[in-house]
Every structure is written in C-alpha cells, then in structure tokens.
Structure 1
Amino acid sequence: MNEPTQPATVRVFIALAPPDDAKDELARALRPAYEAYPRLRWNRIEDWHITLAFLGELPATTAPLLREPLAELAAARRPLGLALRGGGHFDERVLWSGIKGELDALHALTTDVRAVIAQCRIPFEERPLRPHLTLARARRDDPSSVPKVAADLAGFSGRPWRTERLHLVASNIGRGPGPIHYRDIASWPLTGEAPAARP
C-alpha cells in the first residue's frame, strides 16, 4: 500500500495573532456585515493574523530552517501592546481592520524577522509593512460591498492586548476550490526584552 505523499512545496508566512477575546470583540462588531453581505469571502476568525513577512511557495524542506533562528528571536523579544482599530480596504476588494498601539516596536520586530529570513537565504516579498488583519475578499462580480463594510468599521476601537507568540504559518491557498485554511508549522512565545535601539 502506498504511503500518502507529502506536498513538495508549502506556502509560508510569519505572523502575530490577536488573542481570542480581541477577535471575538471585532467579530461582534462585524455581525451586521456578516448578515448583510453573505457573498463576501469572509476569512475564518481563527485564521486572523498580522503578517510580518510573506515567503510564498517554498520547498517543504526549507521552512524548517527557520525554526531555530525564529525561536531565538522570539525568546529575545518582549510582547507588544496592540489593539484593533477601524477598517479599510485594498483596491475595493480586500477588507481589513487596522492596528494601533506599539507600531514602532512592531516595525522593529518585522525588520528583525525579515533579517532572519535573509540570513537563512530564503527569498521573500519585501513589501513595506502595513499592519492589518485581512477580514474578507470580494468576489470579482460583486466588489461594491467592501468599501461599505470598511466605512461601517471606521469607528471601531478594540481593547488593548499583548502579543503572545510569533507564528510560522502554512496555508492551503491556491490548492483547490475550498476555503483558505492556515496551520501553524511552529510558534514561539515572546518572552524577552528587545536590545537597545541602534543609534
């Protein structure tokens, strides 16, 4: 009998995730939109995350190279104080909620994460960080609902929370017609103190 084959590649990113109660708070604010716009492709609440670096499709043997250096980075970095705030959209097709709080520290952590990736000689997309949670995507034949939901979210201001873990995540995006799902390859607690800023 043949053994099930493992995928030769995996789609990977590195992220932070809000705690469940912060996600539940935003989900309650979104209830009217869930009912009013059922045709939006809503992301699962358990998959909400803040992407720090998107690595794209990698050989399955490459992602494990990041485990040790990311574990060391997380152990040396303190938790960050963040909150979810407001809403917006990219190109009227992607709905998101914004992030407030220790944004300078979030950008510094992102820089360090991307330095680890570069040191591992793994190519990745060098996009500027725009901290957000992706909530939904419009279908190509119905793009008008996203700006409306973003406007309704403009006044949302969630409670503060502390980041807990750094996540190395795989997704099944592009692997069939079903919904996008994410799974942790590994995650590490943010337990330490960041070193003093460079002059």
Structure 2
Amino acid sequence: MQKTLRAFVAVPIPDAVAVFLQQIQVRLQSPGMNVRWVATKNIHLTLKFLGDIDPSRVPAVAAQMDTAAGSVPSFSLEAMGVGVFPNLRNARVLWVGLGGDLDRLRAIQTTLESDLESVGFRKETRRFHPHLTIGRTRQRVDAETIGASLEPLKDVASDSFRVDRLMLFNSILKPAGAEHTLLHTSRLAI
C-alpha cells in the first residue's frame, strides 16, 4: 500500500490539444534528439507540485482548490510556441507554451499558491512559467541541433480551449512512465 501520495494540482488538457502536442512531438523526433517523450495522456498544465504528501492532507488540499477555483471564472488558453528549460545549451525539458487569458491563469495559480501555503505547503520560490512539458532530454543535446528542430515550430498554435476545472492528481512513477490517478476536481466559477 502506498504510504504517501506524489501529488500535484493541474489543469487538464483536452484531447484535441493532446493530438496537437503529439504532432509536435513527432515533428521534433530526429537522430540528434535523444528525448524521452511524455505520453500525451500525461500532459497537463501544472499549477502546483505538492511533492510527497500524506493521504490525510487531501481534504485540506481539495478545500483550498475549491476556494481558488471558485474565485476565477472559466477562461480560454491555447498551446503555442515551443522552447526548452533552462536554455538551448543545457536543454533538459522541451515544452509548448501557452497563450490566451494568461492573466486569469496567473490569478488562479497565485491564489492557489497562497491558499495552499495557509495549510502548510511551502510556497514556490521560482516564478510561474506556464507550459506543457512534452519531453525530457536523456543526455546533452547539441544547442544547434535543438535550435534547428525548434525553429520551424516557433509559431505553431492550437485551437483555443476552455479552462473550467482544476484537478488534483497522484503520480505513481513506473519504469514505463508516470501513471496519474485523479484525487479531486474543482470547478471554476461560471
């Protein structure tokens, strides 16, 4: 039996956007890109990574999610552009960025961060960079190779999608990749 949960709060990605992201992954595959691609069913917009938590804390997290979600009306985003963290020379994470109503996205993320801090979770010190992780490098990738692969995709954009809920997931790490189990859903204000 699992003693702790590896938990995070995220915005789910609709199937149509997952297909769009998979197409980007396919276009980025090349001999010089040694990347472990994230399964599209696992791609999400992380708002808060909670780390390993005791299952008894789930109700408190759910209550704070409900409060944060109720403070912001639903809004629209779109997946757009590609990039890497931390930079081309040391690329570790390949991502697709987000556009649309980023002010509302940041508002709900800030509220959630503050509300979760009030029940004992450490506040994130890094600035929030909304993105969808699509892959992680297995080893160093040449900056020119990765730059050349990303350049043709810099202006790609998905259709817009509605953000109307937050979800709390437990992530179980397995050799074949992470398995995410839904623990709670909070609906945004109408």
Matches for 1:177-192 after TM superposition, within 5 Å: 177-192=175-190
Higher strand share: 2
SS at match of 2:154: coil
Say whether residues 1:31 and 2:26 are aligned partners.
yes
Of residues 52-61 and 32-41 in structure 1, the stretch that sits farther from structure 2 once superposed is 32-41
* RMSD of aligned alpha carbons: 2.2
Verify: 1:14 aligned to 2:9, yes or no.
Answer: yes
Identity of aligned residues (%): 26
TM-score (norm: length of structure 1): 0.81
Q: 1:57 maps to which residue?
A: 52
Query: Residue in 2 aligned with 1:101?
Result: 100
Give the drift of 1:188: 2.1
Q: How does 1:32-181 map to 2 (within 5 A)?
A: 32-34=27-29, 39-91=34-86, 92-140=91-139, 142-144=140-142, 146-173=146-173, 176-181=174-179
Pair 119,130 (structure 1): closer, same or farther in 2 beyond 3 Å:
same
Equivalent position SS for 1:123: coil
Task: Output the amino acid matched with 2:121.
Answer: I
Cα deviation, 1:81-119, whole Å, max 9, x if unaligned, reads 110111000131210000001111111111111122012
Q: How many angstroms apart in 1 are the aligned matches of 2:73 and 2:19?
A: 24
| Alignment-mate amino acid for residue 111 of structure 2 | D
Q: How many residues align?
A: 184
Contact 1:93-1:146 within 8 A present in 2 as well: no
Distance 1:153 1:58 in 2: 38
The structural deviation recorded for 1:38 is: 7.8
The Cα offsets for residues 3-51 of structure 1, whole Å up to 9 and x where unpaired, read as xx2x111111111122111221232243233466784211011111111
Gapped regions of structure 1 (runs ≥ 5)? 193-199
Give TM-score, length-normalised by structure 2. 0.85
Q: What SS does the corresponding residue of 2:18 show, helix, strand or coil?
A: helix
Q: Secondary structure in 2 aligned to 1:83?
A: strand
2:117 partner SS: helix
